[in-house]
């Protein structure tokens, strides 16, 4: 007697039938239950560099879904507000460490890193400090103490710092509204010494300069590169540059790519530091976030992460989204209430933007 096998899909059951010609036919039927697809990697699992998110203490404490999303998808956090000078330095002799301590401990407890943002920012000097009308010597002495105390407190815990933030206005001139320009004849020299103070307080921390529109604004980028050249000549320590990447679906991608390549020519670590992608670019009250708009946003995220992956491995520091969910984004207040710039929707579901980001990673 011979045997014939007729196979239907995956082996799951056998049915034998007798045939008149003394052959035995074996029917092999497929199981109706499909094989479970592999679980898709999260951003932090796929990336070979840190994936960060800007967070707020009140959201981590107040909503378990928010906290769970941060832990699930990200490997690094940045304080959205709580580690800026105005939040910590409440008077000449008093520091408020509550929120900063919480975030540093949260990162440690969840096996994450924390990026310190930011030590010096023209828009975050406390009122008491600005009203004191210090001359350049007293001003710098106070700032040195502040940097030494803050970086020293978190030595070995905060792995990196934005030492200075938004020094340059659009086009590359020094900011006219900055008190630093008023106090110092050589503001760039002052900023360089601030990097020295941070390095002295924690020799192992990576030190960054951070700004917005860097890859789009050739004048600002030129000013930053000149500052880096001067820092290196003077021996001021700087490890990396951050571009905030508050861009939009209609941001010109070739301009972005050209500027990004130019920025990377410094050889420093590169941080996409505050990434979100606006979709309601016309600030329309009737705007609808359609599937087509979501797909455009996804393609923009994919382009940016693919572009970042083209960097030499030793220049990749992190990509940080400025927020976690569309439910809590600064842009609904700053830009327009109908704005959906992040990777997770209001219910913490992955948007097409998340898939685009993921697809751009190697």
Condensed to tens digits (0 to 9), the pLDDT of residues 305-319 reads: 999 999 999 999 999
Exactly one of 274, 309, 310, 339 is catalytic; name it: 274
How crowded is residue 258: how many other Cβ atoms within 10 Å of its Cβ? Answer: 14
Whole-angstrom Cα distance, residue 32 to residue 206? 55
Instruction: Place 13 in a pLDDT band, splitting at 50, 70 and 90.
Output: very low
What pLDDT sits at residue 85?
98
45 flagged as catalytic: no
Q: What is the DSSP letter of 325?
A: B
Give the mean pLDDT of the chain.
92
The alpha carbon of residue 302 and the mean position of all alpha carbons in its chain are separated, in whole angstroms, by: 15
The stretch 7-31 carries a mean pLDDT of 44
Nearest to 121 by CA among 159, 81, 163: 163
Residue 192 confidence (pLDDT) above 80: yes
Instruction: Place 26 in a pLDDT band, splitting at 50, 70 and 90.
Output: very low
What pLDDT sits at residue 39?
53
Q: How far apart are the first and last CA of the chain?
A: 56
Listed by start position, the domains of the chain span: 1-37, 38-360
Residue 247 confidence (pLDDT) above 70: yes
Residue 250 confidence (pLDDT) above 60: yes
- For residue 83, list its beta bridge partners: none
Percent of the chain with pLDDT over 90: 88
Q: pTM for this one?
A: 0.88
32 flagged as catalytic: no
E strand or H helix that includes residue 125 = none
The Cα-based distances of 244 to 134, 241, 274 in angstroms read 31, 10, 4
What pLDDT sits at residue 11?
39
Exactly one of 166, 176, 177, 299 is catalytic; name it: 166
122 with 173: CB under 8 angstroms? no
Give 198-233 pLDDT, tens digit per residue. Answer: 999 999 999 999 999 999 999 999 999 999 999 999
Q: Which fold has domain 38-360?
A: TIM Barrel (3.20.20)
Residue 267 confidence (pLDDT) above 70: yes
Residue 71 confidence (pLDDT) above 50: yes
β-pairing, 94-95 with 50-55? unpaired
Instruction: Place 335 in a pLDDT band, splitting at 50, 70 and 90.
Output: very high
Instruction: Place 303 in a pLDDT band, splitting at 50, 70 and 90.
Output: very high
What pLDDT sits at residue 40?
76
157 with 150: CB under 8 angstroms? no
């Amino acid at each position: 007697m011979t045997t014939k096998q007729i196979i239907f899909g995956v082996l799951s059951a056998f049915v034998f039938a007798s045939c008149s010609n003394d052959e035995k036919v074996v029917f092999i039927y497929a199981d109706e239950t499909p094989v479970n697809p592999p679980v898709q990697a999260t951003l932090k699992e796929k990336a070979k560099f840190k994936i960060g998110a800007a967070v707020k203490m009140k959201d981590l404490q107040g909503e378990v879904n928010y906290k769970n999303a941060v832990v699930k998808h990200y490997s690094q956090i940045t304080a959205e507000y709580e580690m800026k000078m105005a939040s910590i330095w409440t008077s000449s002799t008093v520091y408020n460490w509550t929120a900063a301590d919480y975030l540093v401990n949260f990162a440690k407890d969840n096996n994450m890193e924390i990026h310190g943002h930011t030590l010096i920012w023209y828009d975050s000097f406390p009122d008491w400090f600005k009203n004191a009308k210090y001359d350049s010597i007293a001003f710098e002495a106070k700032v040195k103490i502040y940097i030494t105390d803050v970086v020293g407190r978190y030595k070995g815990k905060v792995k990196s710092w934005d030492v200075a933030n938004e020094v340059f206005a659009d086009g590359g001139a020094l900011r006219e509204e900055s008190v630093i320009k008023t106090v110092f004849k050589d503001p760039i020299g002052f900023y360089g010494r601030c990097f020295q103070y941070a390095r002295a307080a924690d020799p192992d921390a990576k030190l960054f300069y951070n700004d917005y529109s860097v890859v789009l604004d050739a004048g600002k980028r030129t000013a930053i590169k000149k500052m880096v050249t001067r820092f290196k000549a003077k021996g001021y320590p700087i490890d990396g540059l951050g571009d905030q990447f508050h861009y939009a679906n209609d941001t010109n991608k070739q301009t972005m790519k050209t500027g990004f390549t130019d920025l990377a020519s410094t050889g420093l670590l590169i941080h996409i530091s505050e990434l979100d992608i606006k979709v309601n670019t016309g600030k329309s009250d009737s705007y609808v976030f359609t599937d087509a708009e979501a797909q455009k946003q996804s393609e923009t995220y994919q382009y940016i992460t693919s572009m970042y992956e083209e960097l030499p491995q030793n220049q990749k520091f992190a990509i940080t989204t400025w927020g976690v969910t569309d439910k809590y984004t600064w842009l609904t207040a700053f830009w327009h209430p109908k704005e959906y710039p992040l990777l997770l929707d209001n219910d913490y579901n992955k948007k097409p933007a998340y898939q685009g980001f993921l697809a751009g990673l190697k």
